[in-house]
Amino acid sequence: MRVPWLGAGLSGLVDLMLPLRCAGCDVTGTAWCRDCSRELGGLRRVERPLLEPGPPAYALGRYRGAARRAVLAYKESGRRHLAEPLARHLAVGLCAIAVEHRLDQAWCLVPAPSRAIASRRRGGAHMSRIAHRAAAALTASGRPSVVADCLITARAAADSAGLDAAERVRNLSGRVLGRTGRIPPPTAQVALIDDVITTAATAASCVAVLGTAGVEVAVVLSLTATAG
């Protein structure tokens, strides 16, 4: 539950005082129930013109139903405890991708950036939080992994909601930036992770910035993707 007039910290305290409910179906007793977790249990190839040619892109589920409600609850409604189960889904997906593409290096997870104003509203960069938990889960499973929180979005970038593909590209043009000293080494096996792929403008911009820095992205993995 998000209380609009409370800050992120107090809103989180209210969440702790209320009965735990599944973000997908509202059943009590759990933050993310087993039935709803199936909606993020796949590995779907995502085809978008903006990512061609480029790294393969995947999503764990469709941006609809319980999966969409969970992403929005985590990102927009202050339910930060969802970072843990969402990160586990990403870790499982990355393990499956490693098997499918015969990748045996440790993963270097690069979270897609958010606008600074959105991060402040959400109590921090939401994909960075997930990235660190996913790296910990991968490491615990025997695949040591790290996070390179190396991308930011310039203040001039507007909210992309409601923009079409061309507008999203223009909005992000030159506004996804690499952070000096945080770019992973060229030898790293990089996975760019995000919560939703729509047009893939964000992912394409991130891939381009990393490529300019000499870093090749091995795969793009998102929790969800729209129909196209």
pLDDT digits (tens, 9 = 90+) for 78-102: 899 999 999 999 999 999 999 999 9
pTM of the model: 0.85
Three-class HEC string of the chain:
CCCCCCCHHHHHHHHHHCCCECCCCCCECCCCCHHHHHHHCCCEECCCHHHCCCCCEEEEEECCHHHHHHHHHHHHCCCHHHHHHHHHHHHHHHHHHHHHCCCCCCEEEEECCCCHHHHHHCCCCHHHHHHHHHHHHHHHCCCCCEECCCEEECCCCCCCCCCCHHHHHHHHCCCEEECCCCCCCCCCEEEEEEEEECCCHHHHHHHHHHHHCCCCEEEEEEEEECCC
pLDDT of residue 88: 97
Return the closest-CA partner of residue 24 out of 60, 62, 55, 70: 70
- CB count in 10 Å sphere of residue 116: 14
Q: Give 46's pLDDT tier (boundaries 50, 70, 90).
A: very high
Rounded Cα gap, residues 59 and 104, in angstroms: 21
Tokens of 60: 């764990």
Q: Give 163's pLDDT tier (boundaries 50, 70, 90).
A: low
Q: Identity (one letter) of the amino acid at 51? A: L
Rounded Cα gap, residues 56 and 43, in angstroms: 12
**Mean pLDDT across the chain, nearest whole number?**
86
Rounded Cα gap, residues 62 and 198, in angstroms: 10
**pLDDT over threshold 90, residue 190:** yes
pLDDT of residue 15: 52
Return the closest-CA partner of residue 67 out of 89, 37, 97: 37
Span 203-215, average pLDDT: 95
When mean pLDDT is compared across 70-74, 85-89, 114-118, 185-189, the lowest value belongs to: 114-118
Q: Are 48 and 199 in contact (CB under 8 A)?
A: yes
Q: Give 38's pLDDT tier (boundaries 50, 70, 90).
A: very high
pLDDT of residue 77: 85
Rounded Cα gap, residues 133 and 158, in angstroms: 28
Q: Give 2's pLDDT tier (boundaries 50, 70, 90).
A: very low
**pLDDT over threshold 80, residue 156:** no
pLDDT of residue 3: 42
CATH 3.10.450 corresponds to the domain 35-225: no
Rounded Cα gap, residues 95 and 98, in angstroms: 5
